[in-house]
Amino acid sequence: MPAPKDPEKRKLWIRRISKGKTGKKCPPRTKEHRQKLSESKMGKKNPFFNRNHTRETKQKQSIAHLGICAGSEHWNWQNGITPLQKKIRACLKYRQWHDDIYTRDNFTCQDCGDNRGGNLNAHHIEWLSWIIKEYNITTLGQAENCEDRSVSPIAKN
């Protein structure tokens, strides 16, 4: 049975199908079966073979993707609950500071002299969580405009 065209009926139809498939698992596919499935859509057998999206279509897809995946419209939006520490560590200024420290120290640990991959850390003199707590930093803007620039890794001197 094809999906109904009416949006309300379509939602109901999808909900019913989803309920019917809940808890049902497909049997595991063998390596040979997966290979056959892969080969069945290769080359000229692929329905999109030798075709390209038009510029107009690409533009529409780009706009649609931007609208869906941004802020409160994103499927995993959780009301802006990203911890401040995570926001600071993800911001461009922090990452630039991080890279500058590595370059300055020639990618070598200042405590033990180790320069092997995976062991290197750009350390603060004080822990980032302590800095946030001590200076009552509550937003990314406050961290960027910190009064004491010697402790803030993202405030420029």
Say what percent of the chain tops pLDDT 70: 82
Mean pLDDT of 93-101: 84
pLDDT tens-digit readout, 68-95: 666 777 777 888 788 888 888 888 888 8
**Averaged pLDDT score across all residues of the chain:** 79
Closest to 81 in 3D by CA, of 72, 89, 93, 69:
72
Higher pLDDT, 157 or 42: 42
- Could you tell me the pLDDT band of residue 157, with boundaries at 50, 70 and 90? very low
- How much is the pLDDT for 134? 80
Whether residue 113 has pLDDT greater than 60: yes
pLDDT tens-digit readout, 27-47: 888 999 999 999 998 988 888
Higher pLDDT, 44 or 156: 44
Whether residue 117 has pLDDT greater than 80: no
CB 154 within 8 A of CB 94: yes
Higher pLDDT, 116 or 58: 58
pLDDT tens-digit readout, 124-136: 667 778 878 887 8
Q: How many CB atoms lie within 10 A of CB 49?
A: 10
Rounded-to-integer distance, Cα 148 and Cα 142, Å:
11
CB 88 within 8 A of CB 140: yes
